[in-house]
A = this chain, B = another copy of it.
Amino acid sequence: MPTYTAPVKDLQFVLHDVLNVSGSDVPGYSELEADFTSAVLEEAGKLTSEVLAPLNVVGDHEGCRLENGVVYTPTGFKDAFEQVKEGGWTGLDMPEEYGGQNMPYVLGTAVGEMFSASNQAFTMYQGLTHGAAAAILAHGTDEQKNKWLPKMVSCEWTGTMNLTEPHCGTDLGLMRTKAEPQDNGTYKISGQKIFISAGDHDMADNIVHLVLAKVPGGPEGIKGVSLFIVPKFLVDDEGNIGARNGVSVGSIEEKMGIHGNSTCVLNYDDAEGYLIGDLNKGMRAMFTMMNEARLGVGMQGLAQAEVAYQNALTYAKDRLQGRDVTGVKNPDGPADPLIVHPDIRRSLMDQKSFAEGARAFILWGATMIDKAHRSGDKDADGLISLLTPVIKGFLTDEGYDMTVKAQQVYGGHGYIEEWGMSQFTRDARIAMIYEGANGVQALDLVGRKLAADGGKHVMAFFELVKTFCKENGEDEALADFVGPLKQASKDLQAAGMYFMQAGMKNPNDALSGSNDFMHLFGHVCLGLMWAQMAKAANAALAAGTGDAAFYETKLATGRYYMARRLPATGMHLARIQSGGDTVMALTADQF
C-alpha cells in the first residue's frame, strides 16, 4: 500500500528561504516564524500521513453508498473527520470571530497540500466547506454570517457548491433551477444539480448548500442567476436544527476516481433558500472565491504528483531489475535497483522537478492572495488573477502526467489496483476538469486575463522576470538558470505579441493557441520559481546555514528542470505561431 510523508522541509524552504514570509509586512505574516510554521506543518504532517493516508485506499475501494436516501462514507472517514475537526484544521485561515485561527492563506495552502496529497477525496469534504464559508464570509449579511459560519468553520456543518446541471456546466447561462420568491423573504428552490462534490454524507449534522438559481422574470442567461443558501436541515434563529429541507440525493455518481467523495445528483423540490449577495449577481458572488478555489485545485495537481512520486521513488530504490549499463551497482544482489537506469531517473527527475517547482509556484500565488486580501494590494490581486488559470490548468495537466509517469515506474504492478498507483492517476484526473475545465482556463487566460487592465499584469510579470535576470545575470552560480529563463520568457513574450497582432484580426488565431499558451506560461513560471529557488539555495550554501546536501540537491533538481523541461516553450511557441488556419480548416461535417 502506498505511503505518504509530508514534505515539511521543502515547504519550509519555500516559505522561509524563498518567500521569506516572516519578513513580509503583510498583516499576520510576522507570526510566521520558522519555528512556528515548522510546528504547524509537523503536526499536520503527522495527521495526514498517519490518519488520512491509510484511509485513501479504503475510500477508493469502498466508495460512498446511498441507502434509503442516506449517504454513508467509507469506513474510518467519520472518525478521521472528527480528528481533523478536533485539531482545529478546518478553520486554520478563517477569521477568529467565527472560530477560526486567522492564519494567513499561505499557511493554509501549505497545510492543504498535505491534506490533498494524503487523501484527496476525504479532504474535499473540508475543502468544499471552506469554499462555501468563504463565499458567505464575502457576500453574506452579518446575520447570515453569524448563523452559518461558526458551525462551518468548525466543520460541524459542511458546505457544497451547486452550479452544474445536466445540460450545462461551463455555460451556466443555460441554467434551469428556479428560485421563487416567498412573502417572508425566503425563496423556494426547485431543480436538479449534478456533480455536487461532498453533496451528502454522514460526517456532519447539517450541510449548507450554496445553490445558483434563477428568479423567474429576471434577465436572460447568466445575468439572471442568483446565489442561495439552502441547508439540508432548516435552522432556527437560535441555531437549532429543525425539519429536513426539500433537497434530496438522486444518486451518487460512479466516477473514475475520488470514490471516497460522494459526488451527488441533488434534487431540489421547493427547498427553502436564502438569497446571498445581490439579486441576479450570483455569478459574481460565486466567482469572488474563484482565485482561491482554482489555486486549491492546482494544488491538487501538485499533491497527487507529489505522493505518486514519493511512492515511485521508493519502488525505484527497492525493486531489483536489470543492471546499470555503466557497471554493476549491487553486486551482492541478483540485480541493481531500478533507480540506476537513466530512463527511470529521467522519469523521477521529471516528477521531482515538477513537484518542487509547483510547490513554490502555488505558495507564491498564495502570498499574492494574502497581499490582495490582507493588504488590499491591487497589483498582487491583478497578478494572481492572471496567474490563476495557469496554476489551475498547467499544474493539473502536468500533475496528472506526473502520476502517469509514477505509475509507469511500477511496470505491471502500476496497473494493479492493489498497489495503489492507479488511484493517484484516477484521482488526479478530475482536477483537469472541475472548477472550470482546463480548456476554459486557457480561454480565460488568453481571452480575458491577458488584456485585463490594458495588459498591465502580464507586463508586470515580464518585468519581474526581467528584473530577476538583470540582477542575477552576472552571477555565475546561476548561469544554468538565468539563460534558459531568459529564452523561455522571450518565447512567452513572442507568443503574447503574436496574439496581439494576429488575434486582433481573427480571435481564432489566438484561441487556437490558448492551451499552448497556458503551458508555455506555466513553464516560464516554474522556470522563474527554479531560478529563485536556486538563488536561495546558493545563498544558504554561502551562509553555511542549514543542510548543505538539501541545497545541493535543490540546485541539481533545478538544473534538470531548466535543461530538460523548459525547452517545451519553443514547441508551444511554434504551435501558437502556426495560427488558427489548420485548427479551423474543417467544417463540422468534414470531421
Asked if A467 CB lies within 8 Å of chain B CBs, one says no
Asked if A39 CB lies within 8 Å of chain B CBs, one says no
CA of A348 to CA of B439, assembled, Å: 13
- Of the stretches A124-132, A320-328, A368-376, the one at the interface is A320-328
CA of A475 to CA of B429, assembled, Å: 45
Quick one: which of A173-200 are within 8 Å of B by CB? 173-174, 194-195
A65, chain B: closest CB distance, angstroms? 15
A217, chain B: closest CB distance, angstroms? 18
- Of the stretches A153-161, A226-234, A268-276, A567-575, the one at the interface is A567-575
A171 partner residues in chain B, CB cutoff 8 A = 320-322, 335
A339 partner residues in chain B, CB cutoff 8 A = 588, 591
Asked if A497 CB lies within 8 Å of chain B CBs, one says no
A413, chain B: closest CB distance, angstroms? 8
> Using an 8 Å CB-CB cutoff, how does the interface string of A398-417 with B read, 1 for contact, 0 for none?
00100010011001101111
Asked if A508 CB lies within 8 Å of chain B CBs, one says yes
* A560 and B575 form a contact (CB under 8 A): no
* B583 and A560 form a contact (CB under 8 A): yes
* B408 and A170 form a contact (CB under 8 A): no
A172, chain B: closest CB distance, angstroms? 10
Asked if A266 CB lies within 8 Å of chain B CBs, one says no
* B415 and A588 form a contact (CB under 8 A): no
A435, chain B: closest CB distance, angstroms? 11
Give the residue of B256, B341, B429 whose beta carbon is less than 8 angstroms from that of A439.
B341
A586 partner residues in chain B, CB cutoff 8 A = 345, 349, 553, 556-557
* B571 and A321 form a contact (CB under 8 A): no
> Which of under 10, 10 to 19, 20 to 34, or 35 or more describes the interface residues of A?
35 or more
CA of A339 to CA of B422, assembled, Å: 31
* A514 and B342 form a contact (CB under 8 A): yes
* A174 and B438 form a contact (CB under 8 A): no
* A564 and B591 form a contact (CB under 8 A): no
Asked if A7 CB lies within 8 Å of chain B CBs, one says no
Asked if A93 CB lies within 8 Å of chain B CBs, one says no
Asked if A468 CB lies within 8 Å of chain B CBs, one says no
A248 partner residues in chain B, CB cutoff 8 A = none
Asked if A582 CB lies within 8 Å of chain B CBs, one says yes
A437-B411 contact given A325-B507, A571-B570, A582-B563, CB 8 Å threshold: yes
Asked if A235 CB lies within 8 Å of chain B CBs, one says no
Q: A341-B443, A346-B512, A408-B437 are in contact. List 4 more A-B contacts (CB 8 A).
A: A255-B415, A343-B515, A408-B439, A557-B586
6 contacts between A and B (CB under 8 A): A173-B335, A194-B412, A325-B508, A341-B443, A426-B426, A567-B574
What is A's interface to B at a CB cutoff of 8 Å?
A: 164, 167-171, 173-174, 194-195, 253-257, 313, 317, 320-322, 325-326, 334-335, 337, 339-349, 352, 400, 404, 407-408, 411-412, 414-418, 422, 425-426, 429-430, 432-434, 437-439, 442-443, 447, 506-508, 511-512, 514-515, 549, 552-553, 556-557, 559-560, 563-564, 567-568, 570-571, 574-575, 578, 580, 582-586, 588, 590-591
